[in-house]
Structure 1
């Protein structure tokens, strides 16, 4: 607000819009759906299942948005080949990795992994509700192991966001709320 009470129309030149509203809404909705499904007590099976369906729908949306979304939402912007990923990790080990405006090559691997993992959790959970999968110990184990592996990946993801925020002096968590990063 200006001192006259009017909203300022001056664009901030020190920041740039990176994450579109769809990416941010997807991200925080998936966090919420996963948490609801994970922390729902066994006595509230319907809530658990619906949270899982929402998570699965969000994954489908993100896969589509990865091809038709805004620049930094598109897989073509951040999914690279193994050579670029290996180079990035080597630089990261030395503490000299470059800053990326969008996702870096390591984040790309994590994003793809989490999309697949949540997809496996959702499909295996759904299968457990069908006549074909009901009572299957194998599907139940796949579901539970996938959740456990995903929890480890989430911890790595959050840890990496904190590391990147400190290392590059940029609050990535705030950026996922506002959509903006510094230039």
Structure 2
């Protein structure tokens, strides 16, 4: 018997697809350069607001969106790699998926943070670059344009490969679940809260995070 369980609440789904679209657009605008860097800066603030939202939502969001639901100990990761699956692994993020999520959030945060302090002396200067020394600006610019960019592209590639593998090899429709929010599971598991109260809370958090991101841009 299969159980239909709400795994991803609406705020988490909106965050996921908004972050995906904004990140891709941010990468494209950086590659184009020139006047497109204005959009790169704006998209950077959008991504910052989204990341701030996710950090807060990871504490107060639906069950499967909370960090504690996919914060695994090293032993649990080793057990998973040895093929010792648990029912919860097929619902939210499994141990490998959790590592991917935390790595993606960390690299994106690093990219946004270094972007705020970067200055390529041609098209772009981060809003906080004038507040720090030239050495810090240089280091931030180097990370943002080189290692950080390559790490982000590598993680995006791995993310897409993992989705394809789980979809076609393991027959787990991850994309469909992130659209509808629901998964069909063989075991009954806790459903994520996804009512009007939860969504109003998410809206308030999102507006606050947007205001913080906008305020940083006004320095």
**Cα distance in 2 for residues equivalent to 1:119 and 1:133:** 21
Secondary structure of the residue aligned to 1:19 is coil
Q: 1:126 pairs with 116, 131, 135, which one? A: 116
Unpaired stretches in structure 1, ≥5 consecutive residues:
1-12
What's 1:68 paired with?
60
Q: Which protein has greater RCO, CA pairs closer than 8 Å, 6+ apart?
A: 2
CA gap 1:97/1:121 in 2 versus in 1, 3 angstroms = same
Check the 8 A contact 2:71/2:98 in 1, yes or no.
Answer: yes
Deviation at 1:137, TM superposition (A): 3.2
**Cα distance in 2 for residues equivalent to 1:173 and 1:90:** 26
Check the 8 A contact 1:170/1:182 in 2, yes or no.
Answer: no
TM-score by length of 2: 0.71
Q: 2:28 pairs with 36, 39, 45, which one? A: 39
Secondary structure of the residue aligned to 1:168 is coil
Q: 1:77 pairs with 66, 69, 83, which one? A: 69
Count of aligned pairs:
167
Deviation at 1:14, TM superposition (A): 4.7
Unpaired stretches in structure 2, ≥5 consecutive residues:
119-125, 186-219
**Cα distance in 2 for residues equivalent to 1:127 and 1:90:** 43
